[in-house]
Structure formats: C-alpha cells, structure tokens
Structure 1
C-alpha cells in the first residue's frame, strides 16, 4: 500500500483565496472503475451538495418574496383591522342608545365580542376592554378555560402529567410542556432500548459499527483541531488575514458542531492544509468512517430542509403540502390579496348597512347565523392561530 500523505502537516502555506468546489472532494480513478464503496462516497457527496443547494434556494426564494408579500398585504390587513375596529366602536355606541329589543342587543353584544376578540388577541387593549365589558367571560378567562379543556384532553389521550412547578398559564406553556414530556418519554424509551442492547452480547457487525463510529468521531475531532490551531485569529498580525481567519474559524466551529465533514474538508483545502490527493488517499483507507459521517450529515440536512420548508409555508400562509416555488408563492399572494380586498369590501358594506336600524336588524340576524356556522374555528381564533 502506498504511504498516505500527511493530512495534518505541522506547517501550512499561506491561505488561498480560491473558493473550493465540492467536486474537489470527489474520488476519481485513473485506472479502471471506482469500487462500489468509492462510488457510494461520491453519491453521498453529491447528495449533500444537492441538499445544501435546496436550502440555499429556499432562503433565496423567501428573501426575494418577503418584501412583496408584506408590501402588498400589510396595508390591506391594516385597512381591514381598522374597519373591524370602526364596526366594534359603532356597535358599542349604538348599544348605549335605544330602539333595539333585548334579543337584538344580545346579538349585537355577541357580534361585538366576536370582532373585538380578533383585535384584542393582536394586542389592542381598547378592544380587549370592550370585549370584557360585553362578554360573560373575559378574554383571559376564555383562554384559560380553553387551555384547561385542552389539558384535560391531553391528560386523557396522551397520559399528560406535567410537574406541579411547571407554568401552564397559556396555550404556549401547555404545548411546550407536552412536547417536553413526549421528548422525555422518547429519551427514556431509547435509554431502555440501549440498556437491553448493552446486556446482550454484541455481534461482530455491531462491534465493527461501533469501531467505525469511534474512528469517524476521532477523525472529525482531528480535522477540527488542526483547523482551530491554524485559524486562531490571535496568531495573525495582518488585519485582513485576521478578519479572514476569524470568518473561517466561525465557519469551522459551526461545521464541527453540526458534524459537517464536507465543510471541514473544504476549509482544509482552502487553507492548503491538505491536498486533493491526500483526501483521496484518506477516503480509500478510511472509506467506512467517512461514509458514516456523510450519511449522518445527510440525515441532519434532510431534517433541516424539512423544518425550513415548513417554516416558509407557515410564514407565507401556504398549505402544508403546497410546493414551495415562485409560482406557488406568487399565486397564493394574489389569492390572499384578493381575499383581503373582498373582506374589506364586505366590511365597508356592513358599515353602510348598520347605519339604519332596519337593515341593522337584518345584518345582526345574518351575523348570528354566520357565527353559528363558524363556531368550530373559535379555538384557533382564540389563540391567534390563524
């Protein structure tokens, strides 16, 4: 076997400013075909590049769409909220006068509470005050009752039992506590599973897997320590080089924390602490350990991609399974804009209708029916989850 080149030399040349492409890490063969393990190594590198590219595209897409999204919808949302506020204040003033039957007054109070609640949840204290003035339950009481109901349901369905010193004052506390308990239960179950495995005699495959994992961890630490030694900013007097090393050190820290082997190797090449030939030789000799690290990195990137995608869908009010594309974002923005414009127009018409007592009575009856039909959405509205 040819002697392996030193991957961690004592001295390193000056920093190269050339950006390292991912293809620099790909294994090649001058004689014959690559082995199946080497081909798998290259496929894993390509998969990592693809996942990182998808993450970057999501960030670029969201950054490009966000200004138009807020510029288009914010004025409409503000106009709609102002109209709701105007309607609530008008109903409040009308309830101080005469001419409405007891039944119509009850309906007017119910509708006033419904509309004021929407704005109160968003932080409008005057609307909260008016809601509490006309409602049999304050908004805080409604939220607490809903929280208690959810807690009872979770205790019944999921054996939810938070500690007594854990705050459960609102729905966020409740969800946090339930998720914490689920994670603790999963961790306890995993610990029991591992204890059972430890009591069993390990197979040769398990022993080999553990050895490979330990070798992979050791290799990752060695890569990082070499970089940390060479990139320490205090060892550089040149301000420009110090700033560059500080940036690379920050990148190396993040890469090590996330077990990002590819980025660490790229920084090694960038700093000329190693060569493509050295990495290729290392990959041939330590292919199993490197493959373990690459597979773990792929799994982490897949989870990160899923989380980022869901966060983007939520930010722009898309459905959970909508494709995250420019076309989808643009179409949804237009639909949301149209819906808000329609809601504004309807609210303007409502404000016109309620000026006359005769049409006010008709409007109150219509609103009462609409509230009855939408009663199932009260939970989401109450906690601002729409």
Structure 2
C-alpha cells in the first residue's frame, strides 16, 4: 500500500490533450493538477525544514554572534591606535571617520558605555542627546501616521524601543479594525440572509448537504475496507490502521482528493472510472477541490512567509525550497568570510607599520568604491 498520488486521478485517457471533455471534466483535471503541484511544493518545504533550521541555528547564528564580538573588538582596537604617535594628522582624521561609521552601523549603543564613549570622542557630538532627538522626531512622525499618541519622549531610551512600541500599537489598531470589519460583515450577511428568497437559501443548503453526502459515501466505503479488525495479517493490519488514520484526517479536513486517491489505490474506483462520473457529481467534487486548493494556497503562502521573514535571512520576495537553502548556505559562507576579514584586520593592529599599511589599503578600497559609484551614476544619469 503505497502513498497515493494525485497523478492517478484524471478524467480522460492518460496523456490525452483533453479534447472532448466537458467543462466540469476539464475543471476537475485542472484542479487535481494544481493541488498536486501545491502539495509537492509544501512537501519540499517540509523536507528542507530540518536542514534549514539546523544550518541557521547551528552555523549562521554563531557566526553572527562572533561577528558582533569581532566588530566590537575592532572598534576598540582602532580607537586605541588613534593615539599612536606614528600616525599623521590625515591618518588620524581617517581613523576618526572610520570609527564614527563603524559605531553608527551598530545601531543602538545605549547599553554599551565603551562604544558610546568612542562615538562621542570621534564624532564631536553626544550620543545620548542625538539619540533623544532622533527618538523625538521619529515619534512625531509615527504619531502622525498612526493618528495615536505613543506616550512621552522620555519613555523610550532608543529608536528600537520606540519602533517595538509602535508595532504593538499598530497591531492593536489592526486587530480592532479587523474586529469592526468582521462585525460589519456579519451584520451585512444577516441582512442579506433576511432578504434572500427562501428558494435561494434552500438551494444553498441542499448543495452543502449534497457535498457532505458525497464525502460521506466515499469515507464509509474506505472505512469499511480499511477497518483493521477485519484484517488477519499483522503487517497489513498495521498498514491499514495507518491508512485509516490518514483517511479520518482527510475526511475531517474535507480532503476529497486524498479520499479519491485511496479509493483508486484500493481498487474501489478504477482509474478510468472517473470518465463515467456525470457532470452533476463532478460539479460537487469541483467545489470541494476548489476549496481545498484555496486552503493549500493559504498554507503555502504562510509557509513561504515564515521562511522569508522568520529567519532574518534575505530569501527574496518569492522563495522556493531550493533557493532558500542555497541562499542560507551562501549567507553562511559570506558571514564566515567577513569574520575572517575582521580577524585579519585585528591581527594588523598590533604594531604601527602594519596598521599604517592597513589604513593605506582601506583608503585605496574607498577610492575604488567611489570611482565605481561615479561610473554607475554616469551610466544611469543619476
């Protein structure tokens, strides 16, 4: 008893072009094929999940922690070299510029007094005063956008804390608006229901009853065939028990396609038997399949979103299982290379001559990057 596949389900001869099929038959084949593709993609996401999580937590996260520690060491070591008597005035200015840039890129320095002191020393400004002004300006913009007060300026020690508070406020506002929309939709539905002719409501209720009856008929046949108490062979009994559990889950979720696949596998329904299904029965099946496809689409979108936004890795707007794992491996290799560069930099800070060569190399790279930026702006007219 193998795992059923949607490829076993189709109306018409295998490999046929679909010519001569009715509208409902063609729609049935199309829905089955779409569901099969979505299933395959979801299964691929499930397969890569353990490797992805292990690589992210076991490799990238430690590398990022090491990078943070290395960058802090590099800033403090660079600050220590500022007082080197062998540096020229221009080299000191370059060191100060690098320090301000590196410290600023770390974001919030409010909890690191040593780095805050480095920033204050080389930026000719006070970090705490600048952070307070930034929080005040950002808070005013957020309040205007939200149309809500976020509290006092002094309640927030950093822009990150302010943003976290604003996100919570926005989530509360969105939840309130969603609740209002749901309440309005329910009121509209009640009014529409009151206005609907009785015959329309009866037709809808009849259709729902017919859909449930179609599923129930298939389920009862499968439950009878798979009942483990009727199987004397111990091995087959275990397999039938597992299949019956899957069938029960499929029935609870109204997974028509899985039920049909098991029917074919158990030879309760011949592969060519779908050709004999009338359009009325197929119409019922198609409604259930369309609902199943919509649910799979939502599940797939949620899975992609979790990978794209839940792991702090730039996977792109439409990641695939293959591209996600490849992108993560590339991020790991890139972070390892950056860490090696930082280690190399620190090794050159030990004595004046090597440090001056390092500064000269940094200056050369900065000039090359500036030439590339100018060339880019000239090429694209910016």
TM class by smaller structure? 0.5 to 0.7
Structure 1 position 334 matched with structure 2 position 330: yes
Q: Are 1:156 and 2:147 an aligned pair?
A: yes
Q: Which residue does 1:121 correspond to in 2?
A: none
Task: Choose the corresponding residue for 2:303, options 291, 298, 308.
Answer: 308
The 3-state SS of whatever aligns with 1:28 is coil
Measured in 2, the distance between the counterparts of 1:306 and 1:49 equals 16
Report the CA distance shift for 1:182/1:270 in structure 2 as closer, same or farther (over 3 A): farther
2 CA distance for matches of 1:228 and 1:183? 41
- The alignment status of 1:41 with 2:61, answered yes or no, reads no
Match of 1:318 among 296, 300, 314: 314
More displaced stretch, 230-239 vs 309-318: 230-239
Secondary structure (helix, strand or coil) at the match of 2:317 reads coil
1:137-216 residue pairs with structure 2 within 5 A?
156=147, 177=172, 180-202=175-197, 208-216=203-211
Q: Residue 311 of structure 1: CA displacement? A: 2.0
CA distance in 2, matches of 1:288, 1:128: 64
Q: How many equivalent pairs are there? A: 312
Matched, 1:288 2:275: no
Matched, 1:264 2:255: no
TM-score, structure 1 normalization: 0.58
Partner of 2:11: 27
1:327 positional shift: 5.3
Mapping for residues 1-386 of structure 1, pairs under 5 Å: 17-28=1-12, 33-61=20-48, 73-83=60-70, 156=147, 177=172, 180-202=175-197, 208-228=203-223, 230-233=225-228, 238-276=233-271, 280-314=275-309, 315=311, 317-324=313-320, 326=322, 329-330=325-326, 333-334=329-330, 337-339=333-335, 341-342=337-338, 345-346=341-342, 349=345
Unaligned runs of 5+ in 2: 79-98, 118-126, 129-135, 150-163, 356-382
CA distances 1:21-67 after superposition (whole Å, capped 9, x unpaired): 4243312279x922222122122112211221222233345556665
> 1:316/1:246 Cα in 2 relative to 1: closer, same or farther (>3 Å)?
farther
RMSD (Å), alpha carbons: 5.3
How many Å apart are 1:335 and its aligned residue? 5.0
SS at match of 1:286: helix
Q: CA deviation at 1:289?
A: 1.1
Structure 2 CA distance for partners of 1:248 and 1:349, relative to 1, 3 Å? same
Shift of 1:296: 0.6
